[in-house]
Amino acid sequence: MEKKKESLFDSNFREILASELVSIAGGLIAGSLLAWYTNQLILLPGILILLPGFLEMRGNISGSFASRISSGLFLKVIKPNRIKTHIIKGNLLASFFLALVVSLTLGILAFAFNYFFLQLVTWKIIIIPLIAGIIANAIEIPLTLFTTLYLFKKGYDPNNIMAPFITSTGDVISIVALLIGVFIL
């Protein structure tokens, strides 16, 4: 019986728990920013329609980006000291392009839902995620690349560290970028 308990709380358990505790810290900082700027951000019609997708985008795009770079590093197809290769350049370009497309899609969806379900016409809701997407990904994508390469050079497995890193930094960067987008417009 005791042996069963021991195996349940193994190193796997500890690793997942530690990484999840790190990622909830980023989420709480982002949530606190949302609560602090409720009047400027959440009161905007349709912002809650695009918010979950906007927060998810960093995991879907930067997470896959980090994972592809990590695989390339382990397979020795990518060298940690050489950034100007066609694989890395292609990955950067594709990630930025996907981020722009997803941001625009989210904006259009929020506009459409606002129009059809809430009978509101708010053009701003298309532009805000686009501006925020450009700002957030201009920070997040290079940060992901350099952190992945740095971790690999230091002998760590980026796969174990990048997911919680992207979640925690991405949440904060995304909310700050959305706030900047709102303030610009």
Residue type present at position 69: I
Residue 131 CA to residue 185 CA, distance in Å, equals 10
H or E element in which residue 42 lies: none
Q: What is the DSSP string of 97-157?
A: HHHHHHHHHHHHHHHHHHHHHS----THHHHHHHHHHHHHHHHHHHHHHHHHHHHHHTT--
Q: How many residues bind another protein (CB under 8 A)?
A: 65
Our CA angle for 154, 71, 144, nearest 5°, is 60
- Near another protein in 13-32, by CB under 8 A: 13, 16-17, 20-21, 23-24, 26-28, 30-32
Query: Interacting stretch for another protein, rule CB under 8 A, among 113-121, 136-144, 150-158, 176-184?
Result: 113-121
- Near another protein in 55-84, by CB under 8 A: 55-57, 59-61, 64, 68, 71-72, 75, 77
Which residues of the chain form contacts with another protein (CB under 8 A)?
7-8, 12-13, 16-17, 20-21, 23-24, 26-28, 30-32, 34-35, 38, 42-43, 45-46, 48-53, 55-57, 59-61, 64, 68, 71-72, 75, 77, 86-87, 89-91, 93-95, 97-98, 101-102, 105-106, 109-110, 113, 117-118, 163-164, 167, 171, 175
